[in-house]
Structures are given as C-alpha cells and as structure tokens.
Amino acid sequence: MTEASADTGTNADAPTRTRTRTRARTRSAVDELLSRIAAGDPERVAALFAERVDWMIAENPGVPWIRPRETRADVAAHFAELAAGVASAPDNPRAVETVLVEGEDAVIMGMLKGHVRATGKSFRSPYVMRLTVREGRFVRYHLYEDSRAIAEACTPGT
C-alpha cells in the first residue's frame, strides 16, 4: 500500500469514526441521565442540561409539575416537583425498554408507573423521550406520555 492510499483510507474512515464517537458520547450522556433520574437528585439531573433547553411535555393543567420549562434551573425545578408529587413504582422492569442513539439524538421508550402522593392514585403510561446532546449537555428534552392517565391520577375523587 502506498503512502497516498493509506492516507486516503484513513481520511475516508474519519466521518465514520466521528459518528461512532458522537454516538458513544450521546449514549453515555443518556445512561448518566437515567442514572441520575433514578437516584432522585434534581440538581445533579439538571447539571447535565445546557443553560437553555428545548423542553416539551404536553401541557396538562391537571398535573402540577408539567408546564413550560426553558432553563437548567427549570429542569431542576421540574424534577424536584416530580419527585415531590410522584412515588415511582419500584417494581417496574419496563421503565426503560429501548434506547436508540443516532449521532447527537437519542430516543428512549418505556413504561412509567407510579402513584401520585396527593391522591394516592396509581398510573401507568407508555412513554417516548426524544433527547439531543450537544457539547456534552442535553439541549432537547421532549417527552410523549399518556397525559390523560397521569391527569386522572392527579384528580381527587375520580
């Protein structure tokens, strides 16, 4: 192999190596996020987010912790309010069923299970979470869930 062909092969592989490294960094960030969420430390969860976040959880007036968020401080507040309002079910083997990663983007699919502390009602909801990681921080957090099931669990007397 000549020196020129060796360089060509190396340069041709560069985009693949870059994609592989980006995918690995994204997967590592997702794993850390899931670990910190499970540990229940809102400040440590928020530390993984950029200062400004593209945040989306469908607004649901019946669920006190769901509302628009934009900043790292908002992320900490969300997870603090969520922890105060919901006890997660410890017996949820399907909490995370699938994690897909492509470049900076990740999709998590699973099942949310818990009970609302204020009402004592349980809920179960499939979910999909769409995340984007840039420069080591989460810049997008979109959560798609069964908001009706969660709202019903938040409503006293239903």
Alpha-carbon distance values, 113 to 13, 61, 64, 102, 107 (Å): 44, 20, 17, 27, 19
pLDDT reading at 7 higher than 50: no
Cα torsion angle, 65, 152, 145, 85, sign: positive
Q: What domains appear along the chain, each with residue ranges and CATH number?
A: 3-154 (3.10.450.50)
Dump pLDDT digits (tens) for 51-69: 999 999 988 888 989 989 9
Distance of alpha carbon 95 from alpha carbon 148, whole angstroms: 19
Rounded to two decimals, what is the model's pTM?
0.86
Dump pLDDT digits (tens) for 15-40: 788 888 999 999 999 999 999 999 99
* Residue 15 pLDDT: 77
Name the percent of the chain lying above pLDDT 70: 92
